[in-house]
């Protein structure tokens, strides 16, 4: 559905009664274009070692109290096997940002191994930050299907306010990275944080227009949440406001881009234990259960109050899957759950 800025702003500002109507519509559009299915990506938090110092992030380089880890290859393959055997269909590998040649080689090698242990069946999303074009290309050739790189905010001034001002944290370079990923043929995902200090509803409307303009295939949006290493001013939005705004962003994006993949993100669960299920109801269709080895989970703390389950994976899975079913959805076991939007574009190209 084409919408202009003022229409989007009106939806994002809608009161409780009107947002219920929005949610009904976005939920129906999701059913119509995606169906009742929820796809899983087993999330592997590969390492919290990071070369960047994004002011909002709990694992930024300057966060001195953080206990740094890097999973072994064996741990990563073990987690991928777990996902494959439990019919997750896809995994997502996320990490702090490392741009060394040895890291690029390592990821390439892991991708080959993951594809091989799963007979090529496990879908792989990478979320490993900004990398040289040639590295994106190699990882794509080694089997990565999708890449998630959040723009964080599409407003250049706000972007500057939440990052150090140097070449490593340049808005233009991040935009360029998104274009490079698309050129390499990835299903392209981006997203923003919601409720940053200084972020207005107009800026959030522009974020949605940016996604449309970039013609993205997937999106992950989450509430900004404070952490003890954050150098940002505290949010002007209450947690409840950030939560409500995030749901409205998901719902509005679903109206604008009916067949993309939208994640129900963990930051919503951090505010409300049923936050992810609520996001599914208003239009999200992907969930990323954490399958990182439990011993290091406490160290990948992007924000305070991040839900960290110490349960063994089977128990964690069972309760999550039950809750998804209880919310009226079916889980797409053993399906990669690729972006329909991407699929349609490929079909058109090949005609």
- Considering CB under 6 A, how many residues would be counted as binding ligand SAH? 20
Among residues 14, 48, 90, 94, the one that binds ligand SAH under rule CB under 6 A: 94
Task: Verify binding: residue 63, ligand SAH, rule CB under 6 A.
Answer: no
Q: Select 118 or 266, whichever has its Cβ closest to ligand SAH.
A: 266
**Residue among 12, 225, 286, 296 that touches ligand SAH (CB under 6 A):** 225
Q: Which of 227, 261, 338, 339 binds ligand SAH (CB under 6 A)?
A: 227
Q: What's the rounded Cα separation, in Å, for the pair 46 and 293?
A: 10
Question: Quick one: 193 or 279, whose CB is closer to ligand SAH?
Answer: 193
Among 40, 57, 251, 313, binds ligand SAH (CB under 6 A): 57
Is residue 162 involved in binding ligand SAH (CB under 6 A)? Answer: no
- How far is the C-alpha of 60 from the C-alpha of 40, rounded, in Å? 27
Give CA separation, 197 vs 62, 159, 225, in Å.
Answer: 21, 11, 11
Other beta carbons less than 10 A from residue 330's beta carbon: 11
Q: Give the list of residues 6+ apart from residue 53 with CB closer than 8 angstroms, or none.
A: 60, 61, 62, 163, 164, 168, 169
Rule CB under 6 A: is residue 155 a binding residue for ligand SAH? Answer: no
Q: Is 229 in the site for ligand SAH (CB under 6 A)?
A: no
Q: Is 69 helix (H, G, I), strand (E, B) or coil?
A: coil
H or E stretch covering 21: helix 16-33
Q: Is 275 in the site for ligand SAH (CB under 6 A)?
A: no
Q: Give the separation between CA 35 and CA 218, rounded to whole angstroms.
A: 16
Under a CB-based contact definition with an 8 Å cutoff, are residues 117 and 85 in contact?
A: no
Helix (H, G, I), strand (E, B) or coil at 54: coil
- Choose which of 224, 237, 321, 329 interacts with ligand SAH (CB under 6 A): 224
Report the alpha-carbon distance of residue 245 to residue 223 in Å, rounded: 8
Residue placing its CB nearer to ligand SAH in the complex, 121 or 272: 272
How is 209-267 classified by DSSP, letter by letter? HHHHHHT-SEEE-EE----TT--SPPPSS-HHHHHHHHHHHHHHHHHHSTTSEEEE-HH
Is residue 152 close enough to count as binding ligand SAH by CB under 6 A? yes
What minimum distance in Å lies between the beta carbon of 128 and ligand SAH?
A: 6
CB closer to ligand SAH, 152 vs 206: 152
Residue from 97, 206, 207, 317 in contact with ligand SAH (CB under 6 A): 97
**Site for ligand SAH, residues 295 to 314, rule: CB under 6 A:** 302-303
Residue 309 CB, nearest approach to ligand SAH (Å): 18
Task: Kindly list the residues in this chain that would bind ligand SAH in the complex (CB under 6 A).
Answer: 56-58, 94, 96-97, 127, 129, 149-150, 152, 193, 222, 224-225, 227, 230, 267, 302-303
């Amino acid at each position: 559905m084409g919408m202009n800025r003022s229409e989007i702003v009106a939806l994002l500002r809608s009161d409780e009664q009107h947002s219920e109507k929005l949610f009904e519509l976005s939920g129906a559009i999701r059913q119509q274009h995606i169906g009742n299915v929820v796809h899983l990506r087993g999330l592997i938090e590969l390492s919290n070692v990071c070369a960047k110092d994004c002011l909002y992030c709990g694992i930024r380089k300057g966060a001195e109290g953080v206990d740094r880890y890097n999973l072994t290859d064996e741990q990563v393959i073990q987690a991928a096997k777990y996902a494959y055997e439990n019919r997750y269909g896809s995994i997502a590998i996320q990490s702090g940002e490392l741009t060394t040649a040895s890291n690029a080689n390592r990821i390439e090698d892991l991708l080959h191994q993951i594809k091989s242990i799963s007979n090529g069946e496990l879908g792989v999303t990478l979320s490993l930050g900004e990398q040289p074009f040639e590295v994106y290309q190699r990882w794509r050739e080694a089997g990565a299907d999708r890449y998630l790189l959040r723009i964080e905010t599409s407003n250049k001034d706000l972007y500057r306010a939440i990052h150090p001002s140097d070449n490593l944290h340049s808005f233009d370079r991040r935009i360029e990275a998104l274009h490079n990923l698309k050129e390499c043929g990835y299903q392209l995902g981006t997203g923003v944080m919601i409720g940053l200090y200084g972020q207005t509803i107009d800026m959030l409307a522009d974020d949605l227009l940016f996604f449309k303009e970039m013609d993205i295939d997937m999106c992950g949006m989450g509430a900004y949440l404070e952490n003890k290493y954050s150098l940002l001013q505290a949010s002007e939005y209450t947690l409840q406001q950030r939560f409500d705004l995030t749901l409205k962003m998901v719902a509005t994006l679903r109206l604008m881009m009916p067949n993309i993949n939208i994640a129900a993100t963990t930051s919503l669960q951090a505010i409300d234990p049923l936050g992810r299920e609520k996001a599914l109801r208003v239009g999200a269709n992907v969930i990323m259960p954490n399958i990182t080895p439990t011993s290091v989970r406490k160290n990948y703390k992007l924000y305070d109050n991040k839900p960290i389950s110490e349960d063994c994976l089977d128990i964690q899975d069972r309760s999550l899957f039950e809750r998804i079913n209880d919310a009226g959805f079916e889980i797409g076991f053993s399906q990669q759950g690729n972006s329909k939007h991407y699929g349609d574009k490929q079909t058109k190209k090949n005609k």
